[in-house]
A and B are shown apart, each in its own frame.
Chain A
Amino acid sequence: MKEVVIIGGGPAGIGAAETLLSLGKNVAIVDTAPFVGGVPLELSCKGDIECTMCHVCMPRDASSRICTSEKLEVLSNSSLKSATLGPETAELEIVTSPRYVNPDKCIACGKCMAVCPVQGALIAPPHGAIPNAPSVDSELCKHFKSRDCDLCIQICPTKAFNFKEKQKAAKIQCKAIILSTGLEPIDPSGVLHYNYGLLPNVLTSLDAERIIVKHGELRRPSDNQKPKKIAIVQCVGSRTTKGGVEYCSKFCCKYGLRIARSFVERAPDAEVDFLYMDLRTFEPRVEALEWAAGKKNVKISQGVPSIVQPTEKDNLLVRRTNPGDVSIEENEYDMVVLSIGGQPRPETKVLAAKLSLEVDSFGFVSNDNRKIGVFVAGSCKSPMDIEESFADGKATGFAVIERLEVNK
């Protein structure tokens, strides 16, 4: 019997888990991904010398603090199938897809990653992920497709691979449930005038972060060269009635500015044009733009582009209205980064229904049911950035403690 089951292991889930574990409660984290950590696992630190407070390291540091706790059970590759809610306890049915690697035996030596012939078949644990063991993607893995590859089994020094692993279903009793499924990135393919997906050097902010994690700096997907002049476009897919969501995703201004800052600090000769609708930074404007003061290669201006078109050498021509004098201006860039926001996952609606919660027209969970032990934390309630989700997780963890102690 667990005391608390946390569904969704992103920043909010980890914040709640940290609070609960520090006060001695038994916690289980359930996540559909092979690793617990949520979207921040794929993001990069945006500081070069000075910390820019992007908070990407926050959930990972927290998860490395809690991963050794004996009161924590991590159920990755798992999802909630059904829930029977009662006034004191609830019974949850959790279905776990096979990982094919035993995390208790795996020592994360990386030898299997080096010999696997198919790219993407073995998903490597990102730094600080729990559990710290790779996961096999059975759709890509050669062993499943043609049954003639067992290189990883041969090379693993602790014999952690088990391709016979089956899907498991477990019934867990618990006293409280926290739903913290968070947000998924908005796909800007629906914003047709930006041609995302058709032009190779138009990326989303998430694509850009993945490249930075891999190479340490931004590179153009078309020719792997360092870009010399980039445009960062805000509000893509948010604040719109076509091809996105109507609300403002809140965190993209903060992250877009930090991506711009990190780019300029790592490539001081390059130029960046930051184009926004409203600068919705969390800190006062003066502080948010301090780093750009006096830099001639940084231009931060109001007015998002109307169209992004291809030019030669896979460069991009961006047309927009000049702020202040309403003239049309066209500029050529070698890369365009679209700052995308987040929307609630489709699974959130399904899970909310199982936990007798309601969602609004956007998919955000609009209530909680603390009387029967169902709590909601993090950005699945309303758009939040990493720090806020983490704080909300901590606050919700504490609210759960109060329920657990009242019911004793």
Chain B
Amino acid sequence: MTSKLNIVAFVCENHVLSALKAASTAGDHLPESVSIVKLPCTGRLETTQILDTLREGADGVAIIGCLEENCYHDIGSMLARGRVDRMKELLKDIGIEPDRVEMFNIASVSGSLLMLRISQFETKLASLPSTPFKGVMK
């Protein structure tokens, strides 16, 4: 039985969403494994919410925000980056692969780069053993 990956991508509804739309216009669509959660800014995302997503059984969490210094809301993606870095350290301490959480900074014109990064993330997750949290919350 092939196991399907489940990736949750937290996306900011400003630059990154326009990059996503632009990419889909060019025929470059999101893989089936990815679900999008739109946020007003990646700075809205709390560290506990990343943990919750993993706990609910996600194989990986991608946080995709604007480039730093060019965040639509100024500092949001920088705050998110700090949280993701801390989260990765925490995951290492509790024995979960830190590669499961990743942050990308994408400009509104980099639609194809965004899709490339997502598919690279998916490939990396596929090489990891299946998440220990699958089915735990049910």
Where the two chains meet, the residues of A that have a C-beta atom closer than 8 Å to any C-beta of B are 44-45, 47-51, 53, 56-57, 60-61, 64, 108-110, 113-114, 124-125, 127-128, 132, 213-214, 216
Contact = CB atoms under 8 A, between A and B. Distances in A.
Interface stretch (B5-13, B18-26, B41-49, B93-101): B18-26
B69 A110 contact: no
Nearest 3 CB-CB pairs, A to B? Answer: A127-B22, A110-B27, A51-B70
A64 B18 CA distance: 9
Interface of B: 15, 18-19, 22-23, 25-27, 66-70, 81, 105, 107-113, 116-117
Nearest to A45: B107
Contact of B81 (A49, A57, A127, A214): A49
A125 B22 CA distance: 10
Contacts of A50: 67-69, 105
B112 A214 contact: yes
A288 to B, nearest CB: 15
B116 A216 contact: yes
B67 A49 contact: yes
A109 B29 CA distance: 11
A44 B68 CA distance: 17
B27 A113 contact: yes
Contacts of A48: 105
Contact of B109 (A45, A109, A110, A125): A45
Nearest to B106: A45
A319 to B, nearest CB: 35
Given A49-B68, A50-B69, A44 B110 contact: yes
30 contacts: A44-B110, A45-B109, A45-B110, A47-B70, A47-B107, A50-B67, A51-B68, A51-B69, A51-B70, A53-B69, A57-B107, A57-B108, A60-B108, A61-B15, A61-B18, A64-B18, A108-B25, A109-B27, A110-B25, A110-B26, A110-B27, A113-B27, A125-B25, A127-B22, A127-B25, A127-B26, A128-B18, A213-B112, A214-B112, A216-B113
Contacts of B81: 49
B27 A49 contact: no
Nearest to B103: A49
B104 to A, nearest CB: 9
Contacts of A44: 109-110, 113
A124 B22 CA distance: 12
A50 B26 CA distance: 26
Contact of B22 (A53, A114, A128, A214): A128
A222 B117 CA distance: 25
